[in-house]
Structure 1
Amino acid sequence: MTSKQYSAPSVRQLSAVVDGMTGSVSEGRLRQLRMVVGMFDRAVGRDEMPARASRTAQQLFTWAALRPFWKLALDGQLRHWEKDVGKPLPEWSQRIVRDCLKILAREVLPAGKAVKLPSVANPEPKATVGGRSLDALYRGMVDLAGQGPLERDGTALSYEDRARLLAIVAVMLDAAPRSGELAAQSLADLAPGEVAVAVRRQQQKGAPNRVEEIASLAEVGTEATRSVLGGWVERVSEETRQRVLSAVAELEPLPEVEWYPLREGSQVTVRRWLQVRQGLVEALPLEGAKTALWVSLVPSKAGPPGVPLRAQGIRQAYARGIVALNWVMAGQYGWEPLPTTMEQIRRSVEAAPLEEPPA
């Protein structure tokens, strides 16, 4: 929708501002900004919004307009698709909308004019699990891989599924990769004999996943560090902001590739998965698609069995396996249900890379 197709003059002006930002922001951010323009279009004219919000783009950024806009957005009343209207806006979407409001306000309002923006909670990371739970996770997955077909409450795990899952968990516990880093792995990332695995770290200098390291260097709290890295500078003092930025500048760049040793049990599970994987990729028509370490087991939108598994597919496979493990182990003495999110497990692992790549 172009700026001329919006009914309210204020929204047409805002759309024109976004059109003028083409080339100065990324395509992804441009889509997000246009999404927020659409949200304003669906908000203006409602009873909750002040009448003057339809006049100029600047009126959209008064607190009298932003306050009801934000409430409507949080309640899911400004969603694009009719079928999704009423679904509360998830936290990650709230952050995107809030960041876009900040960018748009800077473009629309006169230089130096302050604007009150809605706040988004900056939650602490979910709790990690202890070493005993990590050991129980690995032992449980070994047992799960050796059992017969599993099916309960719509969750079914084939032998192939369990072999892949156990290998993923083994690599997670030895190298602590993220799902995106797992998805990027190829056969070349396994050392001869499967004695080690390579991880291409996706961390960027100053990225939020280095919060604790930055906070330690800056000698400030992690919450303040997240606020500075996330752009919420109004939550911290200028001194804190400068300390955090100085700490970011002092960070050593992360290695592009890190190699991690695989325990003997992990080597066995990876070899078992490689045998399963070989049967899946042999039927693929394209040679280039046969290099991924983690591949699909069944046909999907991405293609036939054997195509590279994406990060979302890895997370879903892991969650499905943990759900199965939790109900298999339920009721056994001392068993504590494990989290179904990979990140909680990954942050629980203390993995030390090899000083030198394996020969």
Structure 2
Amino acid sequence: MKQYSASSVRQLSAVVDSMAGTVSAGRLRQLQMVVGMFDRAVGRDEMPARSSRTAQQLFTWAALRPFWELAVDGQLRHWEKDVGKPLPEWSQRIVRDCLKILAREVLPAGKTVKLPSIANPEPKPTVGGRSLDALYRGMVDLAGRGPLERDGTALSYEDRARTLAIVAVMLDAAPRSGELAAQTLADLAPGETAVAVRRQQQKAAPNRVEEIAALAEVGPETVRAVLGGWVERMSEESRQRVLAAVAELAPLPEVEWYPLREGSQVTVRRWLEVRRGLVESLPLEGAKTALWVSLVPSKAGPPGVPLSAQGLRQGYARGIVALNWVMAGSHGWEPLPTTMEQIRRSVTAVPLENPPYEG
């Protein structure tokens, strides 16, 4: 067990330890992460000297304000190599949630605490239709070319085949990385004419803002604020109305099928050929059903094991870097973002009214 030098951090750590079994394992790890951040903050010039005395002193605004600034700037990261990398917005929300939980445990009953606010970030720009068309043309053109290189980093035939197939499915069906990771061979129609996406119900609400706003009789911005956790921006009545509307939403179809364009069908078939060679020697039948699999040995196992959502995002980013390089200078081409989410939000995918076949 880690020993902390400051009395305040030791007390806070004991509080977190006492919460084991009352919160989920994931939340407990997040709370322990915040304890570690406090440990790296206390004693710095920015923090008040009294913040080292008791856990309650950590939750005064005099301590929380510099702590938050240091955290957002990436100065309290665990790994030295990451120090200085700004904390992404989703990580800021986790830290703020943990601060709220810890304050309730540490401070006397009825005592309130001022928590840091998180600005409502502007969505990252999407990709225009012109660039999407260029991406689609480039995807098809690249299907038969040799290995790509950028700054001495080679993109193998196998890696290229997988990247192009991922891009094809994203352009035609707009799945999230987790939805891609869940796909199996059964999610391809005969002839690769269509692809199925199992939508993640728990993430559906942010994509149905207008529908929720109409049900709750509030503005879309109020809905976004509630879904984003910015509860200080609206009344409790508005928040409850939005939450009630979310609960009333009819669930999305469990599976939606999307047609694949001819070029997409070509790239998916090329990937299936590569994939077949990767999974043939695997001993586990379950691994052989995944649509997206690894190309090289990793912590997850040998080549051919199912890719996680993180692995898909990393492979996609690597492939898009190469695609931007090879397309540089082409008429009408604009460099594309290396995050899947920006591409996904640029696509308006329309599902088939009826499944391509009854399976």
Asked if these proteins are the same fold (TM beyond 0.5), I'd say yes
For residues 203 and 125 of structure 1, do their structure 2 counterparts lie closer, same or farther at Cα, with a shift above 3 Å needed? Answer: farther
2: CA distance, partners of 1:349 / 1:76: 33
Cα contact 1:184–1:292 (8 A) shared by 2: yes
Alpha-carbon distance change, 315 to 77 in structure 1, aligned in 2, over 3 angstroms:
closer
Q: Which amino acid aligns with 1:106?
A: R
1:52 Cα offset (Å): 2.6
Q: Secondary structure at the match of 1:204?
A: helix
- State the Cα deviation string for residues 296-334 of structure 1 (Å, max 9, x = none): 222333322222122222222222222222222222222
Paired residue for 1:307? 305
Q: Is 2:238 the partner of 1:233?
A: no
2:276 corresponds to: 278
Which 10-residue stretch deviates more, 133-142 or 74-83? 74-83
- 1:109 paired to 2:107: yes
Q: CA deviation at 1:105?
A: 1.1
Aligned residue in 2 for 1:244: 242
Q: How many residues align?
A: 357
Residues 104-156 of structure 1 show CA distances to partners (whole Å, capped at 9, x for unaligned) of 11222233322111122221221222333222211101111121222221332
CA spacing shift, 1:206–1:158, aligned 2, 3 Å: closer
What does residue 332 of structure 2 align with? 334
1:19 aligned partner: 17
Match runs of 1:1-359 below 5 Å: 1=1, 5-204=3-202, 207-211=205-209, 213-215=211-213, 217-218=215-216, 220-357=218-355, 358-359=357-358
Provide structure 2 residue ranges, at least 5 long, that are not aligned to the other structure: none
Are the equivalent residues in 2 in contact too, given 1:10–1:57 (CA < 8 A)? yes
What's the CA shift for 1:186? Answer: 1.0
CA positional deviation for 1:29:
0.8
Q: 1:212 to 1:33 in 2, by over 3 A?
A: farther
| Distance across 1 between alignment mates of 2:93 and 2:152 | 34
C-alpha RMSD of matched pairs (Å) = 2.3
The 3-state SS of whatever aligns with 1:280 is helix
Give the letter for the 1:17 counterpart: V
Tell me the SS of whatever aligns to 2:202.
Answer: coil
User: AA paired with 2:350?
Assistant: A
The structural deviation recorded for 1:233 is 1.0
The whole-number CA distance in structure 2 between the counterparts of 1:77 and 1:268 is: 47
Q: Which moved more, 1:7-16 or 1:62-71?
A: 7-16
One-letter code aligned to 1:51: A
One-letter amino acid matched to 2:67: F
Structure 1: tracts of 5 or more residues without a match: none
| Pair 339,215 (structure 1): closer, same or farther in 2 beyond 3 Å | farther
The aligned amino acid for 1:111 is A
**Retained in 2: the 8 A contact 1:145–1:159?**
no
Q: Which amino acid counterpart does residue 54 of structure 1 have in structure 2? A: S
TM-score (norm 2): 0.90
In the superposition, the TM-score normalised over structure 1's length comes to 0.90
Percent of residue pairs bearing the same amino acid type = 89
- Pairwise CA distance, 1:211: 4.2
